Amino acid sequence: MEKSILPKKKPMQKSLKARDNELAVTNKQLQILDGGLFADGELPYFKDKIGEIGHFPLRPKKLEILQINVGYMCNQVCEHCHVDAGPDRKEIMTRETMQLCLEVIKNTGAHTLDLTGGAPEMNPDFRWFVEEAAKAGIKDFIVRSNLTIIRANKKYYDLPDFFKKHNVHVISSMPHYTRGKTDKQRGDGVFDKSIKALQELNERGYGMPGSSLRLDLVYNPSGAYLPGDQMAMEKDFKKALDEDFGIQFHNLFAITNLPIARFLDYLIASENYEDYMYALVEAYNPAAVANVMCTNTISISWDGWLYDCDFNQMLDLKVASKVKHIKDYNEDLLNDRNIIISQHCYGCTAGAGSSCQGTVA
Amino acid sequence: MANSYYDPADLRKFGKITEWSEELGTKFFDYYGKVFEEGALSAREKSLIALAVAHVVKCPYCIDAYTKDGLQKGITKEEMMEAVHAGAAIESGATLVHGVQMMNKYNKLSM
């Protein structure tokens, strides 16, 4: 059937899980990533590729970042979301698990604490957790906020003040500096709400030149293509957001969409999967391998399980270590492990590399 | 053999032209890569020029490649379409400016 080239207005969708989509089963995703082009020998497996430069098995370096996913509930249902987050997701970290995390935060050698979700702010114990965690005096305390949550409901209106009070480093997603592209990826009205939220953060001093209140933006492509040069994109974003809305921010992180969860579903449904995998493999950059984020990060899920990264968490690939759960946390033991990889890892080694902190090479 | 002159999958194989003439192929790709680096013109501006030319020379591979490249660089669809019109305007202008030649010839031959 002929596909219309005119943009369609899409209703807010549900998560793959709520739709009983076959990709909600992580094994199915892994089968796809291991099969097809890779099983046919058309493209090399990731382990063989990194083996060529002596990086297989992939091993951790010093732990620098503890990334805690406090729940998959979100006010948005973004088309590309690797978490498959949405309002219908009920997986939320309990205060009990947060207590276990706090013990780890107090004793870790990591310098960065990175809270993510879903929309982390939707966890009912979010504020308590931030207050307690801030007391540990960790150097860089990040909350990944989707911006629209700040304008979603009155109870969130004071979040910019709350973030400021606890010197939280805010990292927010912003797919484009134009309304059309932003709303297409993230839903109608997202652009205007995000702009308003950014202005409010700016009013508190967030993102202003020389300000210690850090505000960074995350850009990830709204489709089956890789991000462009991070510096050039940052320049374009800064110019457009300043000229059009007087908005300031510090850095832009360009993140590659990894072929898992809803983005994988999109790639397959739009018949872009093969081309995208070719593009990732073609853009493979050996220099990025040494710095991929799984080498300096531990990802903790809402129910306390430990993973090499947030992507492996979504594929339910728990760390290959005796220590698999936060209740048994032991940093030395954990650091002595092989990192679990699959073909989605090409997403972190493409071009200048990609991580939750932007490029790595 | 493919039953069509153009196969989208062939674009991925472009690099293979070096296999039959390594020296010339490599020189071409080195040159090509250098051309599209940031210079007096930004990589973004060059991508839009490439997109316009791709349409003028009617190269389906180039159109695919530079639409994707534009997306990667954050170029909007409005900017892309304006670039295509710039190319189209030059192309149609190049046709129409020959109308002067026609007029000259007409006038010369006419009493």
Tell me: cis bond preceding A118? Omega within 30 of 0 counts.
yes
Whole-number pLDDT of residue B40: 97
CATH class of A61-270+294-335: alpha beta
Cβ burial, residue B95 (10 Å; 0-12/13-18/19+): exposed
- Which neighbouring-strand residues pair with A73? A86
Whole-number pLDDT of residue A2: 47
A360 close to A293: Cβ distance less than 8 angstroms: yes
Do A229 and B43 count as a contact with CB atoms less than 8 A apart? yes
Contact list in B for residue A220 (CB cut-off 8 A) is: none
Test the B interface: residue of A275, A281, A359 with most B CBs within 10 Å: A275
Whole-number pLDDT of residue B28: 98
Whole-number pLDDT of residue A188: 81
Test the A interface: residue of B73, B77, B78, B81 with most A CBs within 10 Å: B73
Instruction: Calculate how close chain B gets to A249, using CA atoms only, in Å.
Output: 18
Contact list in A for residue B43 (CB cut-off 8 A) is: 229, 232
Do B73 and A223 count as a contact with CB atoms less than 8 A apart? no
Find the CB nearest A225 among B42, B44, B72. B72
Parse chain B into domains and list their residue ranges: 20-109
For residue A282, the chain B residue with the least C-alpha distance is B12
Parse chain A into domains and list their residue ranges: 61-270+294-335
Whole-number pLDDT of residue A176: 85
Do B74 and A176 count as a contact with CB atoms less than 8 A apart? yes
Whole-number pLDDT of residue A1: 44
Whole-number pLDDT of residue A161: 97
pLDDT digits 0-9 by tens, B52-97: 999 999 999 999 999 999 999 999 999 999 999 999 999 999 999 9
Q: Please give the average pLDDT of every successive group of 10 residues along chain A, which has 361 residues.
A: 52 80 89 94 96 97 96 92 93 97 94 96 97 92 94 94 97 87 79 94 97 96 92 94 96 96 94 95 96 96 97 96 97 96 97 92 87
Question: Using a CB cutoff of 8 Å and minimum separation of 24, what contacts does A202-209 make?
Answer: A202/A246, A202/A247, A202/A248, A203/A160, A204/A160, A204/A161, A204/A163, A204/A164, A205/A164, A206/A160, A206/A163, A206/A164, A206/A170, A207/A247, A207/A248, A207/A249, A207/A250, A208/A248, A209/A248
pLDDT digits 0-9 by tens, B25-47: 999 999 999 999 999 999 999 99
Token duo for residue A323: 């220590």
Q: Tell me how many residue pairs between chain A and chain B have CB atoms under 8 A apart.
A: 31
Task: Please name which of A308, A315, A341, A218 lies closest in space to residue A263, comparing C-alpha atoms.
Answer: A315
Test the A interface: residue of B72, B75, B84 with most A CBs within 10 Å: B72
Q: Is A157 on the interface with B (CB under 8 A)?
A: no
Task: Please name which of A190, A146, A347 lies closest in space to residue A263, comparing C-alpha atoms.
Answer: A347
Whole-number pLDDT of residue A22: 85
Indicate the fold that domain B20-109 takes in CATH: AhpD-like (1.20.1290)
Instruction: Calculate how close chain B gets to A235, using CA atoms only, in Å.
Output: 11
